[in-house]
Structure formats: C-alpha cells, structure tokens
C-alpha cells in the first residue's frame, strides 16, 4: 500500500480528510495527507501546464540570456 505524504493545503487534490486513507493530517501541522500517486499526478499536471513558459525547456535566445559570457571590447586592445 502506498504511504501518504504531506502536502500543503493549497495544492489541488488536497483534502482536509483524505477519503482513501481515512486519516486526517496531524493537528496543527497545516498539512494534509496526500497519497504519493496523487501528488505525482498533480506534479505532472502542473508541469504540463507550465512547460510552454519554462525557459529551461523552451530555451532562451542568446540576445536575452543574462548568463551568456560577456564580450570584451576589441577597441581597448
């Protein structure tokens, strides 16, 4: 049986009382129990929704990349 993990209450799929496991979150923790498979599904859905806006996946043009190596001015040489 999958072990439940703690998830912040603002994530989709979070519930005050998890119906499948039947166990509430520890009192005062501010966390809700969420099965690992549900957390993985939520993470995958979030990734797919945000992938078009992720510069690590879409790439960054060299003209706007702040991490590109700086060119040395050839006029000073």
Tell me the mean pLDDT in the region 18-22.
49
**Cα distance from N-terminal residue to C-terminal residue, the chain:** 69
Task: Tell me which of 10 and 28 has the higher pLDDT.
Answer: 28
Task: Tell me which of 75 and 59 has the higher pLDDT.
Answer: 59
pLDDT of residue 47: 93
pLDDT of residue 42: 94
pLDDT of residue 69: 77
Q: What is the pLDDT of residues 28-73, one digit of tens each?
A: 677 777 789 999 999 999 999 999 988 888 887 777 777 777 777 7
Name the H helices within 1-77. Answer: 36-50, 55-58
């Amino acid at each position: 049986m999958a072990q439940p993990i703690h998830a912040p209450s603002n994530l989709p799929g979070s519930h005050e009382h998890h119906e499948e496991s039947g166990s509430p979150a520890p009192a005062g923790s501010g966390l809700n129990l969420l099965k690992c498979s549900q957390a993985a599904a939520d993470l995958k859905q979030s990734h797919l929704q945000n992938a078009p806006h992720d510069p690590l996946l879409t790439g960054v043009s060299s003209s706007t990349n702040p991490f590109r190596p700086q060119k040395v001015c050839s006029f000073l040489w």
